[in-house]
Amino acid sequence: MDRADQVRVNPEKLRAAFMKPNAKLLQLDGLNPVFDMDGSLSWGAVIDASPDNDLLLLGIDGDVPHFAELTGAGDAGPAANPALWQMLGNLRPNEAAIYATARSLVDWHARHRFCAQCGNPTGSRKGGWARLCGKDEGGCGAEHFPRTDPVTIMLSECQGKVLLGRQPRFPPKRFSALAGFVEPGESIEGAVARELWEEAGIKVRDVRYVASQPWPFPSSLMIACTSVTDDPALTLDEDEIEEAAWFSLDEVKAAMAGDASAPFIAPPPFAIAYNLLKHWVDEQER
């Protein structure tokens, strides 16, 4: 889908997109998606939108504009909702990306109704891709844009095994790649090394980028990396990590295949941690 920046910033083009008879409106229940009978995202007509709500232009597919309502919805509860994750895992990649965009931005608008600079109310601008503290309403005129929080999610390899850990909130036996936010003034490589040292007590080298994935809970970009360590001894940050262990190639393959005898349960297939493990397996088998 074309995100149509040239339409967002042009009030006349934005109004024309809204007025198109074929314009679609994404159905949301607060921040959660609404699914149709086929398990796809449910869409209505823009004419059904509440006149009290601003609209977010998600993009244009061919000649069909797609919108979502900025309803003021905030926290939708725990992100680790098994039923929601099951449904999201069945979405096509393009639909998952559309939902990630809508959820992140609807949530951002709900959390940024006041100017961080002067405290006055802000209003939606640029088709929902900015907020403005209006000078005409006594504000300072500052413009605010949605933010994305970078998060590194990483594997470390040692002697043919890979490090995985589990947090207390994980389902029983679920292990995944370790992760943490990139801090100000820090590179991706630096964040990977720091997080693995802080959470697992290992020094790593040869950090390599693999892939990325938007994670709209609330608005992160997961940056998947691999690394290598020469010393497998672990010292866990028990406030963050309940358990961690090194797993062999065969153990990882068994877990990813859903083998009941595997020593752990792999991350769900739609999570980038699963694809990071798949990348590691493929690298080992070359």
Terminus-to-terminus CA distance in the chain, angstroms? 35
For 21-55, the pLDDT digits (tens) are 999 999 998 888 999 999 899 999 999 999 999 99
Between 241 and 86, whose confidence is greater? 241
For 107-151, the pLDDT digits (tens) are 999 999 999 999 999 999 999 999 999 887 789 999 999 999 999
Same structural domain, 252 and 239: yes
Range of the domain at 71: 5-111
Same structural domain, 132 and 212: no
Contact 156, 163 (CB under 8 A): yes
The pLDDT value recorded for residue 135 is 80
Maximum CA extent, the chain: 66
The pLDDT value recorded for residue 167 is 92
The pTM is what?
0.90
Confidence band of 77 (pLDDT split at 50, 70, 90) = low
- Measured CA to CA, the distance from residue 168 to residue 211 in angstroms comes to 26
Between 223 and 86, whose confidence is greater? 223
How much is the average pLDDT of 257-262?
A: 96
Same structural domain, 165 and 276: yes
The pLDDT value recorded for residue 78 is 54
- Measured CA to CA, the distance from residue 186 to residue 193 in angstroms comes to 11
Same structural domain, 160 and 199: yes
Same structural domain, 118 and 85: no
Residue 185's domain is classified under what CATH number?
A: 3.90.79.10
**41 C-beta neighbours (distance < 10 Å), count:** 22
Same structural domain, 162 and 275: yes
- Measured CA to CA, the distance from residue 206 to residue 248 in angstroms comes to 20
Same structural domain, 97 and 124: no
Asked if pLDDT for residue 169 goes beyond 90, the answer is: no
H or E element at residue 257: none
The pLDDT value recorded for residue 84 is 75
Report the number of distinct structural domains present in the chain: 3
Mean pLDDT of the chain: 93
- Measured CA to CA, the distance from residue 125 to residue 131 in angstroms comes to 5
Confidence band of 76 (pLDDT split at 50, 70, 90) = low
Confidence band of 74 (pLDDT split at 50, 70, 90) = low
> What values do phi and psi take at 56, rounded to 5?
-105, 125
The pLDDT value recorded for residue 138 is 85
Same structural domain, 75 and 169: no
Question: 3-state DSSP call for residue 286?
Answer: coil
Question: What percent of the chain is modeled with pLDDT above 70?
Answer: 97
Contact 58, 1 (CB under 8 A): yes
Same structural domain, 104 and 180: no
Question: 3-state DSSP call for residue 94?
Answer: helix
Same structural domain, 142 and 222: no
Both tokens assigned to 152: 């590194």
Strands 143-144 and 178-181: unpaired
